Amino acid sequence: MRIEKIKAMSIVELQKEFTERKTKLNTYLLDIKSGKEKNTAKAKEMKKDIARILTIINLKTMAGEVAAAVAAQAESATKTVKADTVEIK
């Protein structure tokens, strides 16, 4: 899966994609062990795709937390300025 496509997805879509791919990986690993599949490189690529998805989920989650912290800090700075102007009057 291309990283650009992953970055364009929302967190909810990414979580859904993660669970689907994790299920497919488990099924594929079982097929490898039972002898139905022989391409172990595909399993490795599936694991990398899952890691990419989890990385983007974590980045988007952190970005949301940082944005919320910045908004809260800006709001508290505004309240301080308003409190200061009230005291000056």
Residues 6+ apart with CB under 8 A from 57: 11, 14, 15, 18
Look up the pTM and report it: 0.74
**Calpha distance 42→85 (Å, rounded):** 65
Domain ranges of the chain: 3-88
pLDDT of residue 63: 86
Grade residue 79 by pLDDT with cuts at 50, 70 and 90.
low
The answer to whether the CB of 9 falls within 8 A of the CB of 17 is yes
Residue 52 has pLDDT above 80, yes or no: yes
